[in-house]
Structure 1
């Protein structure tokens, strides 16, 4: 499964999730410009399938399921020459998200080291951040990975703004 999705410049509003044929199969609702939170909807437009927001007074991204229950947490791991995050999916284990320094390509591996998901940042310099997600295997659906990747993007934004100040 291949999905394309993007952020908005002002962290607010809805953006489409499309497949490799450019068919709309869902959307992301970026809840507001001042507090980072989002909801991910499927093709049918019903209630949210997944959500995400920061934990209170923390840089950990909380992923929620369709009932609003926390189903996992994403955290940044400091490294010198690469980008590294961990997604602890309750009941599934810890997934490591890595990217070499200065790369736009990421890999997600399970505890056995198997490639589960890969994604690339595909946007240009003056565009809002966009991603191409490929789900290779596993029981976690693409819509949940959208919430995780958008959370990773929000953590990166927080780190960049903290470094600028």
Structure 2
């Protein structure tokens, strides 16, 4: 559990970006592997891999893995009318619902009892890389695991936008 954590995607989804705490101290970094593979590593302050996230080959779900490459959870989008909804299945602590109103930048992460365990907010503008403020209230989910989940939400939304753009461009 901790206060606010700030991190961001790169515009082209490749390279290293910093993770900061509320005192603007660097506490780690994101290694965004490439624009084509949609994967991320969450690194500690010393550059050691703590958690990984990626789309497995031929999968619509986002896989969260520990530093030993063992899958510890899976994020999937749920269809929902007038809202954004995801489910994160943590293999250690159960299922979590991630929800946001349709045009909101605020997301809540709720446990099976619908208790708020974390929240994050997209704090970037339209033409900037996606940046997030995460507040972790959970003793079951680490900051690194939650960052991987937030980046998974970000990557799924990017995929949806790209698919919508390609569909619109392909229509006549």
TM-score by length of 2: 0.93
| Cα distance in structure 1, aligned partners of 2:47 and 2:140 | 22
Match of 1:34 in 2: 36
How far off its partner does 1:125 sit? 1.9
Deviation digits for residues 71-114 of structure 1, max 9, x if unmatched?
00000001111000000000210000000110000000000111
| Cα distance in structure 1, aligned partners of 2:147 and 2:17 | 12
User: Which ranges in structure 2 are unaligned for 5 or more consecutive residues?
Assistant: 167-172
Match of 1:20 in 2: 22
Match of 1:101 in 2: 102
Q: Which of 3, 10, 18 matches 2:5?
A: 3
Match of 2:170 in 1: none
**1:1-150 correspondence runs (5 A):** 1=2, 2-46=4-48, 48-150=49-151
SS at match of 1:44: coil
In angstroms, what is the RMSD of aligned CA positions? 0.8
How far off its partner does 1:138 sit? 2.7
How far off its partner does 1:32 sit? 1.0
TM-score by length of 1: 0.97
Equivalent pairs counted in the alignment come to 164
Question: Which has the greater radius of gyration?
Answer: 2
Which consecutive aligned stretches of 4+ in structure 1 deviate over 2 angstroms post-superposition?
none
